[in-house]
Amino acid sequence: MRQRWQRARRAVAGLAVAAMAGGGLTVAAAGPSAAEQDTAHTWTVAGPGGSDLSAELDLDAAGELRLAVDRGGAPVLLPGRLGIRTSLHDLTSGLRLVDRHDRTVHESYRMTTGKQLQRSATMREATLTFAGADGARLGVVVRVSDDGVAYRYVLDDTGPVTVEQEASTFEVPTDAKAWVQPYQPSYETERTETTAGGANAAQPRTCTGDVCSFGYPTLFDVGGTYVLLTEADVDGRYSGSHLDHRDGSSSYQVALADNAPVTAPGPLATPWRTAIVGSLDTLVGSTLVDDLAPPSKIKDTSWIRPGIDDWSWLSDGSSPGNFDRQKDFVDYAAAHGLPYTLVDAGWQASWVPELVRYARARGVDVLLWFDWNDLRTQAQRDSWLPKVKAWGVAGVKVDYMYSDAQSTFQWYDAILRDTAQLKLMIDFHGATIPRGLQRTWPQVMSVEGVRGEENGQNPTRDIFLAFTRNIVGSMDYTPTWFSRPGRQDTAARELALPVVFESGWTSLGDKPEGFATQPVAEDYLEQLPTTWDETRLVSGAPGQQPAGDRQVVMARRNGDRWFVGGILAGAGDTMNAPLSFLGKGPWLLQTVEDAASGGGLQRTVRTVTSADTLSVLAQANGGFAAIACPAVKGRTDCDDPVVTAPATTLTVDPASATAAPGAGVTVGAQFRLPQGDALHQVHMTVDRGRLPAGWTVTGHDVSAGTLPAGRVLSGHWTVTVGKDQPGGTVEVPVWTEYANPAGQGAPPVHVEEVVRVSIPLHGNVYASDQPFLTETNGWGPVERDRSNGETGAQDGNPLTVDGTVYAKGLGMNADARVDIDIQGRCTRFQASVGVDDEVGGKGSVNFTVLGDGHQLAASDVVRGGQPAVGLTADVTGVHTLSLVVGDGGDDKNFDHADWGGARLTCLD
């Protein structure tokens, strides 16, 4: 078969492909003649230009299709089955060729993240159309580039298409060295070095019988050529997949998530089955996964800003629930020029807006963590995402998806659309691996899909990741935790990790006190960007080196500076980094490495050229970090100045006010820079867009082209409450923005205060429409106008007790309590209370109403399946109303308690 494929390659070598100037798609169609359709059973797709890659397809006597890959004429992937089975057609055998078209695909595009911002890709493409035994058509699209081969299926059914199984199989020589990851949807299992045939022994817990499942990307060394298997362009039309392997065999078969069929509207183009092929340099520099993805759906990406954040959860697990402690992390980010702070699980809606205001005044933006269960439905996203955007949050980190199912990819489609519309950046944690997502949706800053720093340390794993997972997209590894108890590596290695690993948002894992113990590292991290113009593998490999250790050195360029990071796993050794990636002339090279003793770091600066080699004597599980910059006259190091936002004051008068519907409040504001260089492009306003419908603002915005220190910028407005505004408290935002002194495209610094306008409660008021002063709940959050549901916000059902549905009310789970400010203006509270029908007759609870801490009314124990009980209380003169649910004397299981129709009668 190999000789026949070589003859076929020569036969098609003369296909004419014309280049279209300026990029885009170039097509030169060439279908087979009638004679060729009857006799040809082998077809070759050669790579572009001087590429040494080719893909060869063969159709055997049974009409079964196979694909192999050669590099430089030598086999890399052996012939592997192709084909697909749908609910209507078996397109795995009995195939015959009916058409072929060839073209060259050339695209130039720009990314917001990744190993290289500006991209250019050229691929030769052949679309071969086959007819099945029943006449159904199967299109096989094959692309070959300088760095790999990919294929996909195209089904032209006009109605819904249900794919039951793919025959897609990669064939790898059994003796090829392999680096595999046992498949779990979290992608958080350890990678193992083994062989292609013996991989199943790596982790039998993901096996069924003699078949084991492995996750992408999977790396093989086939006679010195590396092959990285993965997939690209997966969205809600399909599911993710993984590889199934029978013990001892050479076959790795594509298996759909959960072994479940997928259904999509026709015609259907499946994801790309992708093999990145070449040297380790080729793999590390490959952009093939993104090249195969659809173009960006976002035209204006000016609001998308990768960067470093300090993240408290890893080193200080309880801190995300502590407002004052989060301010410490904001202060640290502000002092060191970090653009973001990330607030993880435990934050409270009651104080996040204030934290955001505190941070933005210091030039720091807040990123906010979410459990995906709180954003799972469209209703949840429509509630939460506009709210956090109004607070001033710059982006969200969403966690715990843990699925490759089609329904999960449909959820990705939806939340990506929603965040793009709101201009919210996003990071997917507890997620699948990237499959070109960051090209199509450039607001995606990073994706976990990795066993990272939070899952314990494994220096060998980190070497593997540089040659596997991080090749296919940004990796939310959460590196750099100097103060980690029992740390298994050196400080220099921790510092190198955010250079070795690419991530659009890099979440540093230590706390301010931990960073402060390593001032040399702080200086380095202040300089570190997260976007790259170029990435180079300098040295290293995933397998053991002759000296018995594993290491990798990576260089990434941002502008005219190269950042270099090297990590080592194993015994101490000399790490050699040839500097041939540097340009002409002399360069300054400042290197940070471990001090000989004491656990600290030391920095050296020297002059080098591209002919030199950097040699660092690394300690066990050690490493180094470096910066190289052109050696211009007068420059003594590679550090750019760290510019931070100056301290300013914005005062509003009054800070709070009371106004009835239709009444006005006069608001004054003064903004001042006490000292320092003058501010520029200063603008002050009342944020009309964040006021409720019906509210109006009169008065003009105030601006100053330059505002010197000591001068006051003043503004005055009248804010009129809407005539239909219900009682409660509304925050009126007043803010000043000025040009960020950091420049370089940094967003304006935003300084904001609010005037809290209290509108007297009047008439009939529903408890679910009022803000909570405090909130506790035994299972997930308290729900407004729906049952408790599960742990996500707004994931409940209509409030229903013994078949009676309530449009308004509160859903809780014992033990639970909410406190509401009713201003001393209400006289009566009433509700119909009981256990929600969603627990199927289970559960037992009791209800209590408190007024300013005193019991006003209480129910007996109410059980699931019983009718609702009426509960009323005289609340005359009460300021704080508390609604409390107990567990009925047993445990809290199934205690879904409804306050149906809970409402207050207040003064007019």
**770-779 tens-digit pLDDT:** 999 999 999 9
> Does 281 lie in the same domain as 242?
yes
CB proximity list for 588: less than 8 A, separation 6 or greater: 605, 606, 607, 608, 628, 629, 630, 631, 635, 636, 637, 638
For residue 443, being part of any structural domain is answered with no
Pick the last residue of a domain from 714, 743, 758: 758
314: CB partners within 8 A, 6+ apart: 453, 454, 478, 481, 509, 510
Within this chain, do residues 19 and 162 fall inside the same structural domain, yes or no? yes
In a domain? residue 132? yes
Whichever domain contains 753, its CATH number is 2.60.40.10
pLDDT higher than 50, residue 3 = no
Residues contacting 513, CB < 8 A, separation 6+: 483
**pLDDT exceeds 60 at position 19:** no
Q: Assess whether 694 and 664 both reside in one domain.
A: yes
* pLDDT confidence bin for 445, thresholds 50/70/90: very high
Q: Are residues 737 and 875 in the same domain?
A: no
Q: Which residues lie across from 43 on neighbouring strands?
A: 57
In this model, does residue 166 exceed pLDDT 60?
A: yes
Q: Indicate if 32 and 119 belong to the same structural domain.
A: yes
Pairing assessment for the beta strands 307-311 and 505-508 based on DSSP bridges: parallel
Domain boundary among 238, 264, 291: 291
Strands 268-269 and 148-155: antiparallel
pLDDT of residue 546: 62
Residues 736 and 792 in one domain: no
**pLDDT tier at 544, thresholds 50, 70, 90:** confident
pLDDT at 70: 98
Our count of domains for the chain comes to 3
Q: Which of 354, 454, 533, 852 is catalytic?
A: 454
* pLDDT (0 to 100) of residue 5: 37
Residues 210 and 82 in one domain: yes
Q: What does the mean pLDDT of the chain come to?
A: 94
Do residues 149 and 66 both lie within one domain? yes
- Asked which of 699, 728, 758 is the last residue of a domain, the reply is 758
Q: What is the pLDDT of residues 481-537, one digit of tens each?
A: 999 999 999 999 999 999 999 999 999 999 999 999 999 999 999 999 999 999 999
Q: Do 210 and 234 sit in the same domain of this protein?
A: yes
Q: How confident is the model at residue 547 (pLDDT cuts 50, 70, 90)?
A: low
Q: Kindly report, residue by residue over 393-437, the tens digit of the pLDDT.
A: 999 999 999 999 999 999 999 999 999 999 999 999 999 999 999
> Does residue 456 lie in a domain region?
no
| Residue 566: pLDDT band with limits 50, 70, 90 | very high
**Domain check: are 14 and 132 in the same one?**
yes
Residue 447 has a CB neighbour count (10 Å cut-off) of: 26
Residue 791: the pLDDT is: 86
Question: Is residue 455 situated within a structural domain?
Answer: no
Per the annotation, the verdict on 399 as an active-site residue is yes
Of 667, 639, 637, 664, the residue nearest 654 (C-alpha): 667
pLDDT at 656 over 70: yes
pLDDT confidence band for 40 (50 / 70 / 90): low
Our answer to whether residue 164 is catalytic in this structure is no
Q: Is residue 519 part of a domain?
A: no
- Domain ranges, residue 736: 649-758
With a CB cutoff of 8 Å and minimum separation 6, the contacts of 790 are 373, 779, 780, 796
- State the average pLDDT over residues 260-267: 95
Average pLDDT over residues 136-156: 97
Q: Are 568 and 618 in contact (CB under 8 A)?
A: yes
Query: Band of the pLDDT at 548, cuts 50, 70, 90?
Result: low
Based on the domain organization, do 710 and 830 belong to the same domain? no
Catalytic residue among 125, 399, 448, 502: 399
Q: Is 858 a domain residue?
A: yes
**pTM of structure:** 0.92
Percent of the chain predicted with pLDDT > 90 = 91
Output the pLDDT for position 435: 98
Residues 238 and 107 occupy one common structural domain: yes
In this structure, is residue 486 part of a structural domain? no
pLDDT value of residue 50 = 82
Is residue 410 situated within a structural domain? no
CA angle at residue 88 from 82 to 91, to 5 degrees? 20
Cβ contacts of residue 486 below 8 Å, gap of 6+?
none
